[in-house]
């Protein structure tokens, strides 16, 4: 057994070395796309350290605090050695394996790490007299650093990984290094961690399978009309604008969690705008093109196909940002084709837009522009994925690093993570304008954003609006969505707060009986006030929204067959655009 273990460790080392050497060769002739400090962390940390140094008494107090924490740690370890059961540390998924608490050495290692990381992050957060955004950048990257140095991320200090290696005579480590080599190859020399078993899913085969037809296609989108699931449907159809950062089938993963199928079963005529995966020919396309050739054309074709005079619209994430700007443009031009609108995790006021604000200073935007120029005028899909993964590094990077490489496990067959890796590209002009105008200058909420030749004002929108926010959303934080809802100051706004995050908070069918949601008919000045007066209800918010939608969708008409509308079907759903890989 010892001989087998030794041989497998050697095999694992050779596999890793060969993969790293191959990756180095693949990257050798590529010019560096980014500077050594693309996020401009160095100056931020310098300001923070200067701020700490200017208050030596505070620094001394922090050092004393750290010393006292370690005294408590060693005192607790001594009592534990004498047979006393220690108080459990705060719950942390990284240390859920029983070996972290059962083995005194690993228990001390874990507690020591948690003490040090908490102290370091707290020290950076306590600095005063530093620009808030600069301080936030330092906090964010200090957290990334402390997360990276968790003992769970290293073989020698992870008891679960060591146990797996011993129990398998090193086979787990060999498999882990094979996974590592495969991910390096998949990323063409850059480590691209697998989050799911991508071979287990195929778009249109076992994900994105709701029946329907593509009834319109042009250079920007395919318009899909889904088959009816009831004999009668509401007179006013529903048109969904998903984000173009990801593909629309997050709303149609499996039959059991498909919002599209669920809406059809409620008696709605469902249309979805499936955006093209843009390439170099659309490098200069901006919000104007996505308004005129996207929102307006999709509305026009959905109404022609359905024979209705108006429709209800949905915008998800950045699709909701565009829809909000479009509604303000419609209000300014007297266009009344949208009867009511819903926003899923969408922002219009970006003053509290979360950690993504850190990626929008001019230093980083210059680096993004270089990357897009090198790719021919589009932002590669992997770049956006890397950004979103960094926002939740423990969940979306390090958990897979440990599982795939240290433990040698296969990635899970998880539809949501398969979708998460199926990224799209972003046109240069549109993406830079979005980052600068929205995140950087917050022009839309100020009434200073120009689209379609008009500076639009959200307060001019007067149709009924439904906002959904998620309590743990790290991309569209609940405070940001709440501010966005209040920016439509003259509209009849209904807001629901859901449990979970940016995806699971939205895609939560009633049949799952998961999470909860909160309702409050009022919209006071702050989210805290709204929460104080909100009623908590169990499970999904979909049924509440469906009731709201039914009330604003007219009477009942004979169900609409996609094959009998104004446009002959081009192909079956989910269409062709959604299958284009980046």
Q: Which residues are tagged catalytic?
A: 317
Listed in sequence order, the residues at least 6 apart from 161 whose beta carbon sits closer than 8 Å to its beta carbon are 155, 172, 402, 406, 407
Q: What span, in angstroms and rounded, lies between the C-alpha atoms of 327 and 364?
A: 31
Instruction: Name the H helices within 307-341.
Output: 318-333
Secondary structure of residue 544 in the 3-state scheme: helix
* Alpha carbon distance 484, 477 (integer Å): 11
Q: Note whether 161 and 402 are within 8 A (CB).
A: yes
Separation CA 314–CA 4 (nearest Å):
59
CA dist list (Å): 475 to 24, 144, 147, 266, 296: 33, 17, 19, 29, 27
First to last CA, the chain: 46
Three-state helix/strand/coil letters over 49-105: HHHHHCCHHHHHHHHHHHHHHHHHHHHHHHHHHCCCCCCCCCCCHHHCCCHHHHCHH
Pick left, alpha or beta for residue 370 (phi over 0 → left; psi -120 to 50 → alpha; otherwise beta): alpha
Distance CA 272, CA 225 (A): 7
Strand partners, 212: 226
Of 378, 371, 280, 382, which Cα lies nearest the Cα of 32? 371
Angle, helices 56-81/104-125, rounded to nearest 10 degrees: 160
- Distance CA(388)–CA(392), nearest Å, equals 7
- What are the strands, taking DSSP E only, across 200-337? 212-217, 221-226, 232-234, 238-241, 270-275, 311-316
Rg from Cα positions in the chain: 26
- Residue 469, strand partner residues: 497
Picking from 391, 351, 356, 384, the residue whose alpha carbon sits closest to that of residue 481 is: 351
Pair 359, 384: CB distance under 8 Å: no
Q: Which long-range contacts (CB under 8 A, 24 or more apart) does 138-146 make?
A: 138/41, 138/44, 138/45, 138/47, 138/48, 140/355, 140/358, 141/39, 141/41, 141/44, 141/45, 144/390, 144/393, 146/116, 146/117, 146/120, 146/121
Contact yes or no for 110/95 (Cβ under 8 A): yes
Q: Is the N-terminal amide bond of 401 cis, ω within 30° of 0?
A: no
């Amino acid at each position: 057994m010892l001989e087998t273990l030794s041989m497998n460790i050697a095999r694992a080392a050779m596999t890793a070395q060969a993969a790293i050497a191959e990756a180095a060769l693949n990257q050798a002739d590529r010019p560096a796309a980014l500077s050594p400090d693309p996020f401009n962390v160095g100056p931020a940390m310098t300001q923070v350290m200067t701020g700490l140094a200017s208050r030596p008494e505070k620094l001394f107090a922090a050092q004393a605090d750290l010393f006292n924490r370690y005294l408590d740690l060693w005192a607790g370890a001594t009592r534990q050695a004498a047979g006393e059961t220690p108080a459990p540390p705060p719950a942390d998924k990284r240390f859920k394996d029983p070996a972290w608490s059962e083995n005194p050495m690993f228990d001390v290692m874990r507690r020591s790490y948690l003490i040090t990381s908490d102290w370091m992050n707290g020290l950076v957060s306590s600095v005063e007299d530093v620009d808030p955004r600069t301080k936030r950048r330092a906090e964010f990257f200090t957290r990334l650093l402390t997360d990276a140095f968790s003992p769970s991320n290293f073989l020698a200090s992870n008891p679960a990984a060591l146990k797996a290696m011993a129990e398998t005579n090193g086979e787990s480590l060999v498999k882990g290094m094979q996974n590592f080599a495969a991910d390096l190859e998949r990323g063409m020399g850059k480590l691209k961690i697998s989050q799911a078993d991508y071979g287990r899913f195929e778009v249109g085969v076992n994900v994105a399978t709701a029946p329907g037809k593509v009834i319109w296609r042009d250079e920007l989108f395919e318009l899909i009309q889904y088959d009816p699931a009831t004999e009668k449907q509401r007179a006013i159809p529903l048109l969904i604008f998903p984000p173009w950062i990801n593909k629309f089938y997050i709303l149609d993963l499996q039959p059991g969690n498909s919002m599209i199928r669920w809406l059809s079963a409620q008696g709605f005529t469902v249309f979805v705008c499936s955006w093209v995966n843009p390439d170099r020919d659309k490098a200069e396309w901006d919000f104007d093109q996505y308004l005129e050739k996207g929102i307006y054309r999709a509305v026009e074709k959905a109404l022609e196909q359905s024979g209705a005079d108006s429709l209800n619209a949905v915008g998800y994430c950045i699709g909701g940002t565009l829809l909000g700007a479009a509604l303000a443009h419609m209000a300014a031009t007297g266009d009344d084709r949208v009867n009511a609108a819903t926003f899923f995790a969408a922002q219009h006021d970006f003053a509290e837009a979360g950690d993504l604000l850190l990626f929008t200073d001019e230093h980083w935007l210059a680096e993004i522009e270089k990357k897009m120029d090198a790719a021919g005028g589009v932002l590669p899909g992997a770049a956006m994925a890397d950004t979103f993964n960094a926002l939740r590094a423990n969940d979306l990077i390090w958990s897979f690093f440990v599982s795939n490489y240290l433990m040698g496990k296969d990635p899970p067959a998880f539809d949501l993570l398969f979708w998460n890796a199926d990224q799209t590209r972003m046109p240069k002009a549109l993406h830079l304008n979005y980052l600068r105008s929205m995140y950087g200058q917050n022009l839309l909420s100020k009434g200073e954003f120009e689209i379609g030749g008009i500076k639009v004002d959200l307060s001019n929108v007067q149709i009924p609006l439904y906002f959904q926010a998620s309590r743990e959303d790290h991309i569209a934080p609940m405070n940001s969505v709440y501010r966005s809802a209040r920016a439509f100051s003259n509209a009849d706004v209904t807001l629901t707060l859901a449990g979970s995050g940016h995806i699971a908070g939205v895609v939560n069918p009633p049949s799952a009986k998961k999470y909860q949601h909160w309702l409050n008919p009022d919209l006071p000045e702050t989210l805290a006030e709204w929460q104080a007066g909100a009623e908590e209800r169990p499970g999904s918010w979909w049924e509440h929204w469906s009731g709201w939608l039914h009330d604003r969708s007219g009477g009942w008409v004979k169900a609409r067959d996609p094959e009998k509308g104004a446009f002959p079907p081009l192909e079956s759903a989910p269409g062709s655009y959604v299958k284009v890989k980046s």
